[in-house]
Structure 1
Amino acid sequence: MLFYIFVLMAIKTDLIIEEPSKPLINRVVVSFIYALFFTYTFYLLKYKNILEHPEKHTILVLLVLLLLIIFFSSFMAIASHSIHISLQENKIQHQYRIGRFRYKEVWQVLKDIEYVSVYKNSGYYLVNLWYEKNGILNLMALKDYELSIEKGLFIAEKLNTDLLDAREKGYNKWINKAATKQQGKIVYF
């Protein structure tokens, strides 16, 4: 399971959770892999004359397959993900960014938002949005418990829903948002 650390922003009536940009070394390594692939393909086409080879269709299919494998295996190493939630319309949109290129998914309606939860998994505290009975949207993964509760509280406030502290398995507690905000420490119901 992959974990992402997101930066949280609120712009008027929208909530944007954005993953930090990927390190430069990721882009350099992926660029080097693509350069190797295209150099090898050029070499096969120009010097080995694979277009006249008796098994040219098999070779071309394998090259396309290799290109797809490289693309799908390297995409998340260089792409940054963000989640845009429109609070007025109760809609969500995922966006992926590689450099200046952006891919935006179609807006989807968030039906029946139930609650926001914070739980611990493999050393990370995950902040999730639960909707439509058992639908789960992983919003962010943080290493600090206090920060994850703070971000979960912020998101629960914006979505006007409850916050569940589920970091201990089998011991789930609902957080009193108003009292927690007022006292500056976690208060449970």
Structure 2
Amino acid sequence: MKPNTIISESARPIWQIPIAALFFTVATFILLFALYDIHLSEEGFTLFLHRLEPCIIFISIAIGFTLTKSIHIDIENSRFRPTYNIGPVKLGSWQTIKNYQYVSVFHQPTIGGDYIFEVNLWYDNNKHFELYEEDNYKEAFLIGFELSEQLNIDLLDATEPNNFKWVDKKEWKAKMASGKID
């Protein structure tokens, strides 16, 4: 069993990095201009705040091009840390979870009519920790399977509404060994 695991969204496409850099650069220049031309009066402060509005907009757009989510799992100490990564900056804190019950994989409809598959860790009877979202069933299921194996708990396949079933993990191991995962 691995003592530490990281479940992460896939990296942003390479073309988004220069776009984010451009928006961060423009926001920096707007902020520097606003600070350079600041006047210590009520009218000057109002002008400063109006100049910050586009800066905030550009920073928000840049963050949208760089934001990714990761879950750090410290199995040895029963801790989970969801982090939001904006470039090299990671924001998140550790949460302790005891009494693991099972891992579930289910699908959630999206606004466009497609489905997204979610992997959740259930604990303390009715609480859950959202671990992962993916539009690919196979990838989401493999993440759920691996985590259930590491924690030595059951895996619930809840991808069919009103037809939830517990996964026979021995059968899945055999499928994985033969390479016949559908």
| TM range, smaller chain | 0.7 to 0.9
Which of residues 52, 66, 73 in structure 2 aligns to 1:85? 73
1:32-181 to 2 correspondences below 5 Å:
32-43=22-33, 49=37, 51=39, 55-99=43-87, 101-121=88-108, 122-181=114-173
How many residues align structurally? 173
Distance change (3 Å), C-alpha of 1:150 and 1:41: closer
Distance change (3 Å), C-alpha of 1:111 and 1:69: farther
Distance change (3 Å), C-alpha of 1:70 and 1:13: same
CA distance in 2, matches of 1:64, 1:40: 7
Amino acid in the other structure paired with 1:117 = S
CA distance in 1, matches of 2:127, 2:60: 26
Residue of structure 2 in register with 1:27 after alignment: 17
- TM-fit CA distance, 1:73: 4.7
- Deviations for 1:72-110, whole angstroms, at most 9, x for unmatched residues? 4532420332211111111012334444x2325332101
CA distance in 2, matches of 1:85, 1:172: 26
CA distance in 2, matches of 1:93, 1:27: 25
Distance change (3 Å), C-alpha of 1:111 and 1:76: farther
- TM-fit CA distance, 1:65: 4.9
Residue of structure 2 in register with 1:6 after alignment: none
Distance change (3 Å), C-alpha of 1:159 and 1:68: farther
Segments ≥4 residues shifted beyond 6 Å: none
Contact 2:34-2:52 at 8 Å conserved across structures:
no
Amino acid in the other structure paired with 1:166 = A
Distance change (3 Å), C-alpha of 1:164 and 1:55: same
CA distance in 1, matches of 2:53, 2:97: 36
Distance change (3 Å), C-alpha of 1:133 and 1:57: farther
TM-score, normalised by the number of residues in structure 2: 0.75
Distance change (3 Å), C-alpha of 1:111 and 1:61: farther
**SS where residue 55 of structure 1 aligns?**
helix
- Deviations for 1:91-140, whole angstroms, at most 9, x for unmatched residues? 012334444x2325332101332211111223222222222344333322
Contact 1:95-1:102 at 8 Å conserved across structures:
no
Contact 2:34-2:48 at 8 Å conserved across structures:
no
Distance change (3 Å), C-alpha of 1:113 and 1:62: farther
CA distance in 2, matches of 1:82, 1:64: 30
- TM-fit CA distance, 1:150: 2.7
